[in-house]
Amino acid sequence: AQTVTQSQPEMSVQEAETVTLSCTYDTSENNYYLFWYKQPPSRQMILVIRQEAYKQQNATENRFSVNFQKAAKSFSLKISDSQLGDTAMYFCAFRKGGSEKLVFGKGTKLTVNP
């Protein structure tokens, strides 16, 4: 079974600064996808970024980028130029190829301070 671990329950960052959220996972699969989802207080889960395991290049979406270390089974999220609207719970998730099932970590509560 796959597991996803987020070791930082809470983090805070000053507006305009950079913050990195950590995620490690455990799997024996070769074909899989990794995701970061954001859940603001409005509670809708919003996809931030995704990474295909077969791609060596790290995914980037505007201010969000990942550091995907396949051998170490590590998938961290970097948020640059943090904005107040980035305040939310962030969940790392794993999905094996051929399945729709997402396995989530426990989440990291990120607060961006003015």
Partner 1 sequence: KAGVTQTPRYLIKTRGQQVTLSCSPISGHRSVSWYQQTPGQGLQFLFEYFSETQRNKGNFPGRFSGRQFSNSRSEMNVSTLELGDSALYLCASSSGTGTRGTQPQHFGDGTRLSIL
Site membership for partner 1, residue 91 (CB under 8 A): yes
Site membership for partner 1, residue 42 (CB under 8 A): yes
Stretch touching partner 1 by CB under 8 A, among 10-18, 29-37, 55-63, 64-72: 29-37
Q: Site for partner 1 (CB under 8 A): which residue of 3, 12, 17, 47? A: 47
- C-alpha 94/C-alpha 36 separation (Å) is 9
Half-sphere exposure of 29 (CA within 13 A, CB side): 19
Q: Site for partner 1 (CB under 8 A): which residue of 9, 41, 98, 114? A: 98
Query: Which of 58, 110, 71, 68 minimizes the C-alpha distance to 89?
Result: 110
- C-alpha 62/C-alpha 22 separation (Å) is 19
Q: Give residues in contact with partner 1 (CB under 8 A).
A: 33, 35, 37, 42-47, 50, 91, 95-107
